[in-house]
Structure 1
Amino acid sequence: MNLSHEEEDNSLSLSKFESMLKTNKVLFFDSEEFEDIILHYLDTGKINLAKKALKLGLEQHPRSTGLKLVQVELLVFDDKLDLAERLLNELYAIEPTNEEIYIQKANIYSKRDQHDKAVELLKTALEYTDDYADVYSLIGMEYLFMDNLEMAKESFIKCLEEDTEDHSALYNVVYCFDFLDQNSEAIEFLNGFIDRNPYSEVAWHQLGRQHYTLKQYEPALRAFDYATLIDDSFLGAFLEKAKTLERLKRYEDAIACYNITMELDDPTSFALLRVGKCHERLGNHEKALKFYLKTVHEDPLLDKAWIAITDFYIRRKNFQKALYYVNKAIGIDNENKLYWKRYAAINKALHFHEEAEEGYRKAVEFGDHQLDTWLFWVDTLQFLGENDSAINTLLQATEYFPEEYEIEYRLAGLYFMSSQNDKAIFHLSNGLRLNYRNHVMLEEFFPTIWDSKVVQEAIAHHRNH
């Protein structure tokens, strides 16, 4: 590997410094060498070595502004903000045009959550700096802390005007557009950026993501194509391209694309699952199942994989196999509402109504409050003759669906069945008010009470009014 002169110098300084620490011999370094050594240790998280280097540096160069600014950085890192501020004020008296003083002061204000003051100081730093991109990026971050996405976006765009290679600024700009739901504006910005920087794989990738969000799959695919042509090891772009090909129903091409991601890196459970889904859509059922099983082997906690296997067997009406896999899934995670709902549906298909009731009850207990889950549960309770439990369950459901005719008609029927006619008529009136056309469901679910005088009179009364 060829190192630049700068990297070689740094590496020589580091090895010289570390041998000095081992031998306790005091060697001389110029102040810039000390700065590089300290910053290297800070970047690699070796804080104690950074502090040792700073102490030795200040002993050899007590007047070095650069080293004192690094000292400020370490003080801020240790949350000694007042001490850092005092040192900065001393440095300001000596060098009032040093932009680093304003940047470090801004950092202190940022730590104190005074982000507006930090922005003011960074704007002053702009008057003295040669590195506009870095300062604009810092201003953008302060605006992000203040949740001022428009100003943050503007600052990151200015940063990119100074340095088109600043990928984190580009990601931050797109984040702002995303957060503000400005996908079309993001596309316009990225197209302009690409006109000036046609080989920016990150920009092409982000452009593809924006088109994908807007369901513009053809232009999304074109953008991901460019990103992967520029960088043929761009894993994220290949994944997004594969997802887009799926949307375009080009399943074989999607499989090929997912395979590339698995060559670039270890297969992810996401890619394995998607390949399985593509094979299933192509009618390659055995291959689909093979990939679903690989997925659960790769990530046993991925509920989508267990659900894919279970649904695979449900679609083929192989309920015994479906039950086997949903039981395995529940054995790994017995608080997953999606597993319990399938457990209920499978047992219902197998006419195991008590197990089905347990499944719906658990699904609701673990957060499935969808209307169909409540109704399936109630219908199972009614089938088991547990009318009181069915009524209590429906009353719970009304907390989530206060104006739902399917609940009201069922409550009416169940109250009629238990001879609580006043409550029954109240709920029947609600059902008729909410959806008169579907009142015949009363006959479907409760044929024994349909012909009773009280039910027919209530329906006639509503029809005449």
Structure 2
Amino acid sequence: MNQDYSDHFDEFNEATIADAAKRFESMLQRKETPYFSEEVFESLSEYYMVRGKFDFAMKACNFGLKHYPHSLDLILNKTQILINKFELEEATDLLDNASIFHPSDTEIEYFRGVILMCSGDNAEALDLFRQILPLAEEKENVYFQMGMALVSLGHIPEAIEAFQNAIGCKSKNELVYNELVYCFDVQSNLLGGIDLFNQLIDEDPYNQLAWFALGQCYNQLNLYEKAKDAFEYAVAIEGDFASGWYNLGLSQMNLESFSDAKESFINTLRFEEPSAEVLTHLAASHEKLEEYTEAYKNYKKAADMDEFWDDAWFGMASVLYEQEKYLESIHFVKKAIKLNDINSDFWLLLADNESKLGNVISSEEAYDKAADLDPINADIWLNWSLLHFEQENYHRAFEIVYEGIEEIPDDADLYYRACTYLLYSSSFNEAYKYLQEALVLDYDKHVQLYDFFSNLDTLKALQRIIDQFRK
């Protein structure tokens, strides 16, 4: 559970163990019984666990234990895999058998504590971790699990202390830093987190995990420029830091630096196995750059990788909508809605597609559903009202934006649109009131009015009012 294996290759370098992995897999394909030294089997299992290939890791453990049945490292690696698969009873039996030959071993007790946590017995697990802490060789791992147990028990200040102790033991586990950020966020004290991570950076400017955690804090505070700078330091220190590249990409997306974000997501995929999540963000960066072919291709890869990843289906629908392929777009957005029917963006896209096809009733139903789910999304009210405006039903169009104004009374776009519909209804005095309010909220957005009027006299009258307001 939440174990970091990246520092476990003491006996073998990456190239050597990668070669051993190829030979191991080749033997499996030929249905031969693999035979290596105990140390190679241990390193193979860890090699596969680092990469999330738990089936191969389990095979390495099982074949290794056939030859070396009392190897504690292989037993513990197999225990970890069983825990990851939530096969806790088998994991417990394995530890019970191991304790016969390795009585009072702290690593065995450590994994008993992890199993207790997985079973929801966090208080008992915490007691066990405290008992073995003085004797544990890798105290940073024990402190980390203590912190996780304390988080589950709702003891956030004590959890922060435990995670800080893990860092004090020179932990290089990314999860320790992630959990610290989480704790500071739960406490609504991200500024405290920023102070801590800056202190860690002062102590060691090459601590890429501290830079990474600092960036996460800034991201949570919507300080995207500062977050970007922190993530850039993290990947400059460790060029193959996949999580650093991924979060850098997220910050760049928020800063609308879509080309840079695309490169960051590409780098993420260079240094870790592809995932539906990363592929979806890469696709979104392509979409923002209007590179629709590449965007669709990556959204499709994400959906092929995980058919339940609703954002991938939505992404394909969004690309098809931009390409004016409305019928195809509806097909994919309905797949997204089937997976997640409480996402207002999905219903909004369905409504927009139906509107483009002239399916007024279907569009109306979808807009209504979107508004129920997210009444403070101005785009829903604006697009919904436009459906009726295009049918010259100006009164109904105004009613819809009026509902939106009641939900979002400080949104200038809704006031400008209300003004537009009232002018079309010849309700000039009312239109003037809404125009005044819109100009107060955001003067610069008045240019959107010009998209709705082609009559020169109307445009001149509007401009006079706007100019008077500016004076």
TM-score by length of 1: 0.57
CA distance in structure 2 between the partners assigned to 1:68 and 1:282 by the alignment: 60
CA distance in 2, matches of 1:350, 1:276: 25
Partners of 2:380 and 2:305 in 1: CA distance: 33
Q: Tell me the amino acid that sits aligned with residue 114 of structure 1.
A: Q
2:395 paired residue among 320, 329, 335: 320
User: Residue 348 and residue 219 in structure 1: after superposition, are their counterparts in 2 closer, same or farther (change >3 A)?
Assistant: same
Determine if the alignment matches structure 1 residue 286 to structure 2 residue 350.
no
Identity %: 16
Alignment of 1:354-433 (within 5 A): 354-372=429-447, 394=467, 396-398=469-471
CA displacement, residues 49-68 of structure 1 (integer Å, 9 cap, x when unaligned) = 5543344445xxx4334357
**Cα distance change, pair 110–100 in 1 and its aligned pair in 2 (3 A):** farther
Task: Name the residue aligned to 2:138.
Answer: 66
Deviations 1:223-248 (A, max 9, x none): 22222223222222222211111111
- CA distance 1:143–1:119, shift in 2 (3 Å): farther
Structure 2 partner of 1:159: 241
Equivalence for 1:113:
198
Cα shift readout 1:352-403 (whole Å, capped 9, x = no counterpart): 2222222122223444543458999xx99x99xxx9xx6xx846514xxxxx
Unpaired runs of 5+ residues, structure 2, are 1-54, 59-77, 94-102, 151-155, 181-192, 218-225
List per-residue Cα deviations over 1:397-442 (Å, max 9, x = no partner). 14xxxxxxxxxxxxxxxxxxxxxxxxxxxxxxxxxxxxxxxxxxxx
CA deviation after TM superposition for structure 1 residue 41, in Å:
7.7
Cα shift readout 1:11-62 (whole Å, capped 9, x = no counterpart) = 459999xxxxxxxxxxx9642244345567889998755543344445xxx4
Show the counterpart of 1:455.
Answer: none
1:53 and 2:125 aligned = no
Q: Retained in 1: the 8 A contact 2:174–2:209?
A: no
Deviation at 1:288, TM superposition (A): 2.1
SS in 1 for 2:290: coil
Query: Is contact 1:156–1:170 with CA below 8 Å preserved after alignment?
Result: no
Q: What displacement does 1:205 show?
A: 2.9
Q: Would the aligned equivalents of 2:143 and 2:163 in 1 still touch at CA under 8 Å?
A: no
Larger Rg: 1
Quick one: structure 1 residues 144 and 367, their matched pair in 2 at CA, closer, same or farther if it must change by over 3 Å? same
What residue number does 2:158 align with?
78
- Distance across 2 between alignment mates of 1:268 and 1:179: 20
CA contact (8 A) 1:194 1:203 kept: yes
In the alignment, structure 1 residue 31 sits paired with structure 2 residue 111? no
How far has the Cα of 1:307 moved from its partner? 2.0
d(CA) in 1 for partners of 2:131 and 2:309? 44
Give the counterpart letter for 2:232 in structure 1.
E
- The alpha carbon displacement at 1:143 in A equals 7.1
Do 1:103 and 1:121's aligned partners in 2 also have CA atoms closer than 8 Å? no
Q: Distance in 1 between matches of 2:259 and 2:448?
A: 39
CA contact (8 A) 1:306 1:329 kept: yes
AA at the equivalent of 1:357:
Y
* Residues 319 and 346, structure 1, Cα contact 8 Å, conserved in 2: yes
RMSD over aligned CA atoms reads: 5.0
State the aligned residue count: 344
Of 224, 240, 260, the match for 2:299: 224
Give the Cα separation in 1 of the matches to 2:172 and 2:326: 57
Paired residue type of 1:245: L
Deviations 1:62-104 (A, max 9, x none): 433435763587599538879977x998xxxxxxxx8549999
Q: Against the structure 1 CA distance between its residues 222 and 104, is the aligned structure 2 distance closer, same or farther, given a 3 Å change threshold? A: closer
The 10-residue stretch of structure 1 (106-115 or 349-358) with the greater mean CA deviation from structure 2: 106-115
